[in-house]
Amino acid sequence: MKVKESSNVEIKDETGYITIQFNKKQLKKEIIDLFNTYVNQKDVSGILETNEQKKRNQRKFLEKSVDGLKNKMKTHRKGMNLENNKIIKENYYLIGQINKLRKDLKYIDDEYKELEQKEFNDTRYSNVENQDLNMAIEQLDQEVDERNTEIENLKEIHTKLLEQLQND
């Protein structure tokens, strides 16, 4: 509702309506005079200064909190990057070891097959030679079993590291 320069206001009480006429500029001047008469300016300025000081203190606190959280986040990221890099390097190393063991296993299997083939194809070997071949075959079998066990262990370690990397 927009008040005109000079307006009428009707107020209802128990006896009926009362009509009051007022001038907007004069009313404003009277309210300011009342304020200046009954309110101490020092109290008002103190309240305003106190509110401003509270706002400044709160702002400083929030800025410090944000800076602290940013620093924590940077530190956490650096730590995570170092951990991830370490896990990746370990994975590369383990994969290299697995590949080397696979090559060794293939070489041993090939030697085993060759020896087995020679044993079956050549009947000129004496019993002593056959015993030597059998011992060599048993040794190769043991090596194959050891390498297979080593490969399985490395696969388990690799799987655990991958799971740890995914969880982090």
Q: How many whole angstroms from its chain centre is CA 18?
A: 70
Check pLDDT > 70 for residue 159. yes
The torsion angles phi and psi of 104, rounded to 5 degrees, stand at: -60, -45
pLDDT, mean of residues 62-91: 88
* CA 5 to chain centroid: 64
Spell out the long-range contacts of 80-87 with Cβ–Cβ below 8 A and sequence spacing 24 or more. 80/168, 83/168, 84/165, 84/168, 87/161, 87/164, 87/165
Global pTM? 0.37
Instruction: Write out the H or E segment, with its range, that includes residue 2.
Output: none
Mean pLDDT of 146-151: 89
Contacts of 8 (CB under 8 A, 6+ apart): 19, 20, 21
Q: Would you state the pLDDT for residue 2?
A: 46
Q: Which residue has the higher pLDDT, 33 or 71?
A: 71
123 pLDDT exceeds 90? no
- Give the least confident one: 10-24, 67-81, 135-149: 10-24
Q: Are 25 and 5 in contact (CB under 8 A)?
A: yes
Where are any strands of DSSP class E within the chain? 6-12, 17-23
SS3 19: strand
* pLDDT value at residue 20: 64
Counting Cα atoms < 13 Å in the Cβ hemisphere of 65 gives: 6
* CA-closest candidate to residue 5, choices 34, 26, 30: 26
Flag whether pLDDT at 3 surpasses 50.
no
Share of the chain above pLDDT 70, in %: 74
Tell me, what's the pLDDT at 65?
92
pLDDT of 81 above 80: yes
pLDDT at 66: 93
